[in-house]
């Protein structure tokens, strides 16, 4: 949601430091709407840390397959206010959902693989209007460029990316 207050959580402190540096650069030294929190692995403590930022309306999970079994999904869900929403875009085979909490608090779960056409068009408009900057000085890096006939190599390269702002692109 545009204009939302965001709590970004990660297990890797170095990536959160990098994210804070990018945000400080792109928002003239201050980005009050985004708070970063390191996952501790202690679900109760993590929920408390997230809730200290205020009531959470939504939780977006875009974790890779290697995150399966982590407590972050359960913690993210348990951090939501009643009536909250969960958007699942992570690449898991199976999930453990805190069902009693979800049903008692009327939490909505929605899964979606990638994005719909309208989302892509909205993203393009954000770039065109300067609301989303994709320059190297803004923390975005192209680490691989591929032709359409190299789709398999592009996907293999993208699968190895773990850094913030790293991407591969197709060129025509």
3-state helix, strand and coil shares in percent for the chain, rounded to the nearest 5: 40, 25, 35
CB 25 within 8 A of CB 19: no
CB 110 within 8 A of CB 86: yes
Alpha carbon of 30 to those of 21, 22, 151: distances in Å?
A: 10, 10, 38
DSSP type of residue 32 = T
For the whole model, what pTM was predicted?
0.73
- Written as tens digits, the pLDDT of the chain (172 aa) is 556 778 888 888 888 888 877 777 665 555 677 788 988 989 999 999 999 988 899 998 888 777 778 888 899 999 999 999 999 988 788 888 999 999 999 999 999 887 888 988 998 998 898 877 778 877 788 888 999 999 999 988 888 887 778 888 888 8
CB 163 within 8 A of CB 138: no
Alpha carbon of 41 to those of 22, 48, 49, 140: distances in Å?
A: 26, 12, 12, 29
CB 24 within 8 A of CB 31: yes
């Amino acid at each position: 949601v545009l204009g939302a207050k965001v709590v970004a959580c990660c297990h890797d402190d170095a990536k959160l430091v990098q994210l804070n540096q990018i945000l400080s650069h792109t928002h003239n030294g201050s980005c009050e709407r985004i708070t970063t929190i390191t996952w501790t692995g202690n679900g109760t403590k993590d929920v408390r840390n997230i809730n200290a930022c205020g009531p959470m309306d939504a939780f977006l999970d875009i974790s890779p397959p290697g995150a399966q079994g982590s407590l972050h999904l359960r913690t993210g869900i348990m951090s939501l206010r009643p009536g909250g929403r969960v958007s699942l875009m992570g690449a898991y085979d199976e999930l453990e959902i805190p069902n009693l909490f979800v049903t008692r608090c009327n939490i909505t779960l929605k899964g979606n693989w990638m994005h719909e056409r309208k989302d892509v068009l909205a993203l393009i408009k954000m770039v065109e209007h300067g609301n989303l900057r994709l320059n190297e000085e803004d923390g975005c890096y192209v680490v691989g460029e591929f032709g359409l006939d190299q789709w398999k190599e592009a996907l293999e390269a993208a699968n190895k990316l773990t850094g913030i702002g790293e991407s591969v692109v197709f060129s025509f």
